[in-house]
Amino acid sequence: MTTASSPIGMPKDMLDTPALLVDLDVMMANVARVASICRRNGVQWRPHIKGQKTIAIARQELAAGAIGITCAKLGEAEVMASAGIRNILIANQIVSPIKVRRLLDLLDRADPIVAVDSIENLHELADAAKARGRRLNVVIEVDVGMKRAGVGPGEPVLALARAIAGRPEIVFRGVMGWESHTVTIADPEQKRLAVAGAIAQLTASADSCRRAGFAVDIVSCGGTGTFPYCAEQPGVTEVQVGGAVFSDMYYRTKFHVDFPCALTVLATVTSRPTPNRIVLDAGKKVMSSDAAMPMPLGLPEISSLRLSAEHMTIELLNPSDRPSIGDRIELIVGYSDTTVHLHDEIVGIRDGKVEAVWPVAARGKSK
Amino acid sequence: MTTASSPIGMPKDMLDTPALLVDLDVMMANVARVASICRRNGVQWRPHIKGQKTIAIARQELAAGAIGITCAKLGEAEVMASAGIRNILIANQIVSPIKVRRLLDLLDRADPIVAVDSIENLHELADAAKARGRRLNVVIEVDVGMKRAGVGPGEPVLALARAIAGRPEIVFRGVMGWESHTVTIADPEQKRLAVAGAIAQLTASADSCRRAGFAVDIVSCGGTGTFPYCAEQPGVTEVQVGGAVFSDMYYRTKFHVDFPCALTVLATVTSRPTPNRIVLDAGKKVMSSDAAMPMPLGLPEISSLRLSAEHMTIELLNPSDRPSIGDRIELIVGYSDTTVHLHDEIVGIRDGKVEAVWPVAARGKSK
């Protein structure tokens, strides 16, 4: 519940807490940097919005040159389509009669492209599209090494492309892969080599399809931890990088990404039980910690951090009477993708003041 | 986004996924069992609703004999008050002008009791109450060993009680503690002893207050992993157990609780990339895994489970062509407290059919 009056113009430390803040200058510089890397490499940018879930940010990315967006969930695509965004890659399999009906409904107001990785799902989509008299765009998801969904590269891709060609209701647009098994490699040259090896499987699969007579206009890959390397690979047409616009502790420490962090949680000190202990009103329900721990800013040296459902407990190395009960503490988000969806809104901050309040419109759109 | 038509009466396997389900028979048996344990021990039940967040469930607990509810957050209390629930313990410190104003606003429609653990916060509450011409009920939070918020037992409790007595706007109601450091003890007798030791600090603090002339009508403690032992301790007036009505993998495996699990996530198989691998449409954003991994039901022997933001990847020990793409898989929730708040609604199931759809009304009420 927010205050009745508008917070626009309010100093950030006056906000009720816990609040999710984004530094607009940092975020916009990150948006510009991603767009610039893409332009320089001659690839398109189709930002993944599963970790952003916010129409205003998608619009900023489109304004910076993104060709469309990538969604994980049909529900996210529905929200974004309702905001007038038409070009949407759903980088996931859409399965079951309810979802396929919703996907076909979406064709009335957007141009979705959906990932397929099985003959069964292809026929489910094609039968439904045929019954509705519609055509549906698909990419083939290729497992380039992460061992989750996707068909194997090469012949399995070709086999699925051939099956698609047998279903006139389905339009084959290309291939998609996610080289997530390479993101944690620390050494840039080793990461470049690993990404090149993974993406070569994707681009070779695209070339096989072309040689077999199937037009391929999309070769999509590239997350925050890898996209500069993906963008360099010949044959890649677009990257999906989304999280870089926020960056976070996870990306910086585990994925070795140097984008500055834009996303923070503002919390209040609610208890100082000992001269070393600080208790905040922000726990796991507003800041995930399973990928990386959020990092409080501006405190004396910390000896331990603990998150429970509703609290963060901080132990200082040395006793201190600061911060006091009621003081605000800002924390860099641990992992943006599993933090943003915990909030109803993102508060945009510039020069320490509230400039915008954006609803997390795709919050809960997990179906 | 749910389907336009009401799902009431629908077989659960027809629901769109991922969906959060509660088995109503199991949940109501758990509610009755908690109420019965409390009655047998002559203590009151004030269920914590931070993990339930649902008005309908709070009403079931009140109907079973609960005297009121416990909330972690003021926002939860506001939601529950809006549903007509008046007797609300906010088991947390309410700090900062915005929140104190909201707390005093709440007095117009509910009877909140709030936890204090510092002189600073006491005076903040008292000054605001005085300015509004209101009186506010408080309990003193006592650290009985968990090392989070709370004053130490004994003299620090008395000191704060004396300070409260000096502020006529604040009504001292009693003490509260949370013996969370004992929950993981496996051996029942050892757990009973550890709980007794922790709670003795709480009840002794209450007795000290009484001897000093301060009436104590609330001595509150007892979570899901400990409450049967808390309820046995002389001097305890009420327990806060909430999660037991759902139970989950965390409670059962880490807290050694034998309540049957009522809460599941229904997911769909979206990919079968190999004869051993199953990919579901349910990841961390609908099922937390930081406390315990959700457990899929009805599958052949599993060799590994992996959760990413939007997917669960299951590897079977032996190849199998079952389940197929499109099949529904139900998973026991890992930790209910950090799963329910990820969902917009809980679907109540009886005899395999939808009997109720409850909004998770306190979702996002983290302020």
Check if the interface score ipTM surpasses 0.90.
Answer: yes
Q: Are residues B40 and B164 in the same domain?
A: yes
Q: Are residues A51 and A193 in the same domain?
A: yes
A234 DSSP assignment:
T
Position A123, amino acid: H
Q: Is B366 buried (19+), middle (13-18) or exposed (0-12) by CB count in 10 A?
A: buried
| B317 or B1: which leads in pLDDT | B317
- Residues counted in chain B: 367
**Per-residue confidence (pLDDT) for residue B3, from 0 to 100:** 45
CA-CA distances (angstroms) from residue B84 to A4, A18, B16, B102? Answer: 22, 26, 32, 17
Residue B313 has its nearest CB partner, among A148, A289, A309, at A148
CB B329 within 8 A of CB B12: no
- Report percent pLDDT > 90 for chain A: 98
* Cα separation, B18 vs A29, whole angstroms: 36
**Per-residue confidence (pLDDT) for residue B301, from 0 to 100:** 98
Position B119, amino acid: I
Please determine, for residue A4, whether its predicted confidence score (pLDDT) is greater than 70. no
pLDDT tens digits, A27-47: 999 999 999 999 999 999 999
* Cα separation, B107 vs B104, whole angstroms: 5
Q: Would you say residue A6 lies in a domain? A: no
- Range B24-40 average pLDDT: 98
Q: Are residues B90 and B230 in the same domain?
A: yes
CB B53 within 8 A of CB B76: yes
Please determine, for residue A5, whether its predicted confidence score (pLDDT) is greater than 90. no
Chain A residues touching B367 at Cβ < 8 A: 1-2, 16-19
Q: From the CA of B190, how many Å to the nearest CA of chain A?
A: 24
* Cα separation, A49 vs A187, whole angstroms: 28
- Range B64-70 average pLDDT: 98
Q: From the CA of B40, how many Å to the nearest CA of chain A?
A: 30
**Per-residue confidence (pLDDT) for residue B6, from 0 to 100:** 87
Residue at token pair 């006793």:
A319
Q: Would you say residue B367 lies in a domain? A: no
Q: Would you say residue A364 lies in a domain? A: no
| Cβ neighbours around B226 below 10 Å, total | 27
- Nearest 5 degrees, angle CA B293-CA B295-CA B300? 135
Joined tokens for residue A117: 């990785």
User: Over chain B, what is the mean pLDDT?
Assistant: 97
- Range A289-293 average pLDDT: 95
Buried b (16+ CB within 10 A) or exposed e, A21-32: bbbbebbbebbe
- Find the helix packing angle between B188-211 and B155-165, rounded to 10°: 40
Q: Would you say residue B158 lies in a domain? A: yes
Joined tokens for residue B7: 């799902």
pLDDT tens digits, B189-232: 999 999 999 999 999 999 999 999 999 999 999 999 999 999 99
* Cα separation, A89 vs A220, whole angstroms: 10
Q: Are residues B191 and B294 in the same domain?
A: no
* Cα separation, B144 vs B61, whole angstroms: 27
Position B83, amino acid: A
CB A153 within 8 A of CB A205: yes
Residue of B180, B184, B325 to mutate, interface with A, max A Cβ within 10 Å: B325
Asked if B102 lies within 8 A of A367 by C-beta distance, the reply is: no
* Cα separation, B184 vs A64, whole angstroms: 51
Residue at token pair 């994925």:
A255
- Find the helix packing angle between B55-63 and B24-41, rounded to 10°: 40
CB B163 within 8 A of CB B122: yes
* Cα separation, B367 vs B9, whole angstroms: 36
Chain B residues touching A16 at Cβ < 8 A: 96, 98-99, 367
Asked if A3 lies within 8 A of B98 by C-beta distance, the reply is: yes
Is residue A220 helix, strand or coil? strand
Find the residue in A nearest to B271 (Cα): A149
Chain B residues touching A281 at Cβ < 8 A: 92-93, 95
CB A221 within 8 A of CB A212: no
Q: Are residues B271 and B157 in the same domain?
A: no
- Range A125-142 average pLDDT: 98
| Cβ neighbours around A135 below 10 Å, total | 14
Give the up-direction half-sphere exposure of residue B100: CA atoms within 13 A in the CB hemisphere: 23
Q: Are residues A322 and A218 in the same domain?
A: no
Find the residue in A nearest to B94 (Cα): A270
Asked if B1 lies within 8 A of A117 by C-beta distance, the reply is: no
Q: Are residues A231 and A264 in the same domain?
A: no
Chain B residues touching A124 at Cβ < 8 A: 326
Residue of A281, A314, A329, A340 to mutate, interface with B, max B Cβ within 10 Å: A281
Question: Which of A203, A204, A140 lies closest to A173 in space, CA to CA?
Answer: A140
Residue A271 has its nearest CB partner, among B16, B149, B272, at B149
Chain B residues touching A284 at Cβ < 8 A: 288, 290, 338
**Per-residue confidence (pLDDT) for residue A346, from 0 to 100:** 98
User: Over chain A, what is the mean pLDDT?
Assistant: 97
* Cα separation, A305 vs B215, whole angstroms: 37
Find the residue in B nearest to A289 (Cα): B290
Q: From the CA of A77, how many Å to the nearest CA of chain B?
A: 11
Chain B residues touching A152 at Cβ < 8 A: 273
Between β-strands B328-332 and B263-271, what pairing exists: parallel, antiparallel or unpaired? antiparallel
Chain B residues touching A78 at Cβ < 8 A: 1
**Per-residue confidence (pLDDT) for residue B16, from 0 to 100:** 98
- Range A336-359 average pLDDT: 98
Q: From the CA of A143, how many Å to the nearest CA of chain B?
A: 9
The CATH number of the domain where A136 resides is what?
3.20.20.10
pLDDT tens digits, A208-262: 999 999 999 999 999 999 999 999 999 999 999 999 999 999 999 999 999 999 9
**Per-residue confidence (pLDDT) for residue B350, from 0 to 100:** 98
Question: Which of B7, B34, B5 lies closest to B247 in space, CA to CA?
Answer: B34
Residue B95 has its nearest CB partner, among A148, A325, A344, at A325
Q: Which of A220, A245, A270 is the last residue of a domain?
A: A245
* Cα separation, A45 vs A70, whole angstroms: 10
Q: From the CA of A40, how many Å to the nearest CA of chain B?
A: 30
One-character DSSP codes across A105-167: HHTTT-EEEEEE--HHHHHHHHHHHHHHT--EEEEEEE-SSS-SSSBPSSHHHHHHHHHHHT-
The CATH number of the domain where A282 resides is what?
2.40.37.20
* Cα separation, B6 vs B22, whole angstroms: 17
Q: Are residues A279 and A231 in the same domain?
A: no
Q: What residues have CB less than 8 Å from B168, skipping those under 6 apart?
A: B135
Residue A73 has its nearest CB partner, among B93, B310, B343, at B310
Asked if B367 lies within 8 A of A289 by C-beta distance, the reply is: no
Q: Would you say residue A80 lies in a domain? A: yes
- Range A181-206 average pLDDT: 98
Q: Would you say residue B4 lies in a domain? A: no
Q: From the CA of A9, how many Å to the nearest CA of chain B?
A: 17
Asked if A311 lies within 8 A of B148 by C-beta distance, the reply is: yes
Q: Are residues A116 and A154 in the same domain?
A: yes
Residue A50 has its nearest CB partner, among B120, B150, B310, at B310
Chain centre to alpha carbon of residue B276: 37
Chain B residues touching A290 at Cβ < 8 A: 284, 288-290
CB A137 within 8 A of CB A103: no
What is the number of CB-based contacts under 8 A between chain A and chain B? Answer: 181
* Cα separation, A300 vs A266, whole angstroms: 17
Q: From the CA of A90, how many Å to the nearest CA of chain B?
A: 12
Q: Could you give the number of structural domains in chain A?
A: 2
Residue B75 has its nearest CB partner, among A1, A117, A151, at A1
- Range A152-178 average pLDDT: 98
3-state helix, strand and coil shares in percent for chain B, rounded to the nearest 5: 35, 25, 45
Q: From the CA of B343, how many Å to the nearest CA of chain A?
A: 6
Please determine, for residue B129, whether its predicted confidence score (pLDDT) is greater than 80. yes
* Cα separation, B174 vs A171, whole angstroms: 69
Q: Is B99 buried (19+), middle (13-18) or exposed (0-12) by CB count in 10 A?
A: buried
Q: Which of B228, B253, B278 is the last residue of a domain?
A: B253
Asked if B290 lies within 8 A of A285 by C-beta distance, the reply is: no
Beta bridge partners of A344: none
Asked if B271 lies within 8 A of A338 by C-beta distance, the reply is: no
pLDDT tens digits, B333-349: 999 999 999 999 999 99
Chain centre to alpha carbon of residue B143: 19
- Longest alpha-carbon distance in chain B: 72
* Cα separation, A94 vs B283, whole angstroms: 15
Q: Are residues B197 and B325 in the same domain?
A: no
- Residues counted in chain A: 367
Asked if B309 lies within 8 A of A149 by C-beta distance, the reply is: no
Q: Would you say residue B366 lies in a domain? A: no
CB B199 within 8 A of CB B233: yes
Chain centre to alpha carbon of residue B197: 23
Residue at token pair 């398109």:
A44
Domain that holds residue B343: 12-20+259-359
Chain A residues touching B99 at Cβ < 8 A: 16, 268
Q: Which of B253, B274, B293 is the last residue of a domain?
A: B253
Please determine, for residue A92, whether its predicted confidence score (pLDDT) is greater than 90. yes
Asked if B290 lies within 8 A of A289 by C-beta distance, the reply is: yes
Q: Where are the alpha helices (DSSP H) in chain B?
A: 24-41, 55-63, 74-82, 97-106, 119-132, 155-165, 188-211, 227-232, 249-253
Beta bridge partners of A176: A141, A220
The 3 state secondary structure assigned to A299-351 is CCCEEEEEECCCCEEEEECCCCCCCCCCCEEEEECCCHHHCHHHCCEEEEEEC
Q: Are residues A157 and A127 in the same domain?
A: yes
Q: Are residues A79 and A222 in the same domain?
A: yes
Asked if A270 lies within 8 A of B313 by C-beta distance, the reply is: no
Asked if B313 lies within 8 A of A117 by C-beta distance, the reply is: no
pLDDT band at A81; cut points 50, 70, 90: very high
Chain B residues touching A279 at Cβ < 8 A: 93, 148-149
Q: Would you say residue B303 lies in a domain? A: yes
Position A139, amino acid: V
Asked if B325 lies within 8 A of A121 by C-beta distance, the reply is: yes
